[in-house]
Amino acid sequence: MPSLIVNQHGIPLFMNTHSGNASDKNTILEGIKSLKSVLRPESKVYYAADSSFYTDNNIQNIGRSLWISRVPATITEAKELIASNMNLQTLKSDERYSFYRTFVEYGGIKQKWVLLLSHKMKEKKEQTLRMKLDREVEKAEKSFKKLKGENFFCEEDALKAAEKWIADFPSVSLEKVDVKSTKKRKSGKRGRP
């Protein structure tokens, strides 16, 4: 598996091959260290890497270098930030995006995190969610119609079936469950119902 480091113009600066089993988390740091060893110490270099770079070990070992990486959404601090109610600001250069900036200490390193929201992507995700919810409601309505048409031996069986239906459709809620008792004659039999 090759690892390739390029400059801002896409020109390759460093390349190495690794075993297919090698971890990206390790090979990215190895590549950055190799590149740093051939650069002049006064060179102002920004290292940009994908989220596999972002580990405690890597950000501690990169030293005082300037780096940019996507923070994995699996990190607790990132989950909390995404779930929080923050005041997003519209990006002045492109109104299709909003952002939120905060300072965090992670892995013992102080960092600036920027949460970026694409309004177009948000609309697309909301539309997908609406379509999924519509399909689920339609499926629930069909199932509920079938449940209403069923006959049960006793009230307890009917309530168990209702509980199962509620568990099968957690995104749909019922205000109340009513059970209606009816008496039926056995087919072809005379006498009391």
Q: What are the pLDDT digits (tens) for 139-163?
A: 999 988 898 888 888 888 888 888 8
DSSP string, 180-191: -----PPTT--S
Q: Share the mean pLDDT of the chain.
A: 84
Q: Give yes or no for residue 61 having a pLDDT over 60.
A: yes
Phi-psi region of 63 (alpha: psi -120 to 50; beta: other; left: phi over 0): left
**Residue 187 pLDDT:** 64
**CB of 97 within 8 A of CB of 118?**
yes
**Residue 50 pLDDT:** 87
Q: In degrees to the nearest 10, what's the CA dihedral of 171, 177, 182, 184? A: 30
* pTM: predicted TM-score of the whole model, two decimal places: 0.58
Side chain identity, residue 64: R
**Residue 131 pLDDT:** 94
